Amino acid sequence: MRIWNQTCVTSFILVGLTDAGEIQRALLVLFLLIYLISLLGNLGMIMIIRLDLQLHTPMYFFLIQLSFLDLCYSNVITPRTLGNLLTSTKSISFVGCFTQMFCFIMFSATECFLLSAMANDRYIAVTKPLHYPAIMSPRCRSWQLCRCYMIGFIDSSVIVLWMSRLQYCNSNVIHHFFCDTSPILILSCNDTYNIEIVIFFIAGSTLMVSLFIICVSYVSILLTVLKISSTSGKQKAFFTCTSHLLGVTIFYGTTIFTYLKPKKSYSLGKDPVASVFYTIVIPMLNPLIYSLRNKEVKSAFFRVMQKKESFRRLK
């Protein structure tokens, strides 16, 4: 109740990406298609890895978690965005807005450190192949995953609790398609300098620390691969890392562009477009990147389909 008493706003209005009716209908079809591909791709990835025993390895354990996170934060943003494009009612309650913000920040921060855990997994697999199964034991993997979620929960809790205590009396119109930090801070009639510094520090440390771990891991992998004498050995080592590197580049590129700058640099035109990419498009791209470029996943898919067909015939 204290949160509600400290604000003049009880609900927000999400303006979205455009007011043009024809463009909204086109975006509705496009986003719905992307959303369905994202759901099918990530659920399919999870099911294939779960059903195929040959993929029960540390790398695919983390890949399942990545697909799960993509499902989570895609479902936090995309369904409401589709609803806003479909209807003229674009309001969201104060509690609903900050709940969406909390979930999105938590899943995004968790994914940052999950990507760094995946890079560390590739580092151990390439540089210490004989000790890889022992080092990446189920207990070790579970601890790394818990640590990722703990950091995400702490990051989102600090930001959302602080922002929810601000007063919002300038306006209740959010010039964005979801409840993000920058467009909401613009609406506050309080001095937001301190919370901007906190958000910049949390976002910066989350992105930079996880990216530093990824860079160190891949530099070590590169140095190890260069020592391999056979060309086929080098190609195999590089191939195991290309999908992850591509996913990291896309995710971190758009995220750093959006968050590592002050509130005054927020652009009503450019920032929502960049946000569309990492909130709606990337959850669709990840299963495509990790499946189309991975022979093991494609082979596992055909094995699962063959087992399903054999089971159907026996029935």
Show the domain range for 17.
2-308
| Residue 314 domain flag | no
* pLDDT one-digit tens code per residue, 66-107: 999 999 988 999 999 998 888 877 889 999 999 999 999 999
Residue 166 is classified by DSSP as S
Q: Is residue 117 part of a domain?
A: yes
Nearest to 163 by CA among 73, 101, 90: 101
Least confident of 144-148, 177-181, 236-240: 236-240
Answer whether residue 227 is part of any domain.
Answer: yes
Domain contains 313: no
Please give the DSSP secondary-structure letter assigned to residue 277.
I
Distance CA 193, CA 263 (A): 9
290 within domain boundaries: yes
Per-residue confidence (pLDDT) for residue 35, from 0 to 100 = 94
pLDDT at 1 over 50: no
More confident residue, 26 or 6: 26
Question: CATH no. for residue 286?
Answer: 1.20.1070.10
Question: Residue 190 in contact with residue 93, Cβ under 8 Å?
Answer: no
Give the Cα separation of 255 and 249 in Å (integer).
10
pLDDT band at 5 (very low <50, low <70, confident <90, very high): very low
Assess contact for 110 and 151: CB atoms under 8 A: yes
Q: How many domains does the chain have?
A: 1
Give the tokens for residue 179.
């409840």
pLDDT at 127: 86
pLDDT at 74: 87
Q: Are 270 and 254 in contact (CB under 8 A)?
A: no
Amino acid letter, 261:
K
Whole-number Å distance between alpha carbons of 154 and 52: 35
Q: Which of 1-5, 49-53, 106-110, 233-237 has the lowest mean pLDDT?
A: 1-5
Give residue 177's identity as a one-letter amino acid code: F
The encoded tokens of residue 72 equal 């989570």
For residue 94, tell me if it sits in a domain: yes
How much is the average pLDDT of 25-44? 92
Query: Chain-wide mean pLDDT for the chain?
Result: 83
CB atoms within 10 A of CB 299: 13
Q: Are 165 and 6 in contact (CB under 8 A)?
A: yes
For 152-223, strand residue ranges (E) read: 173-174
Q: What would the pLDDT profile of 242-283 be if each residue is shown by its tens digit? A: 777 878 888 887 777 766 655 555 555 556 777 788 788 888
Burial category of 296 from C-beta neighbours within 10 Å (exposed 0-12, middle 13-18, buried 19 and up): middle
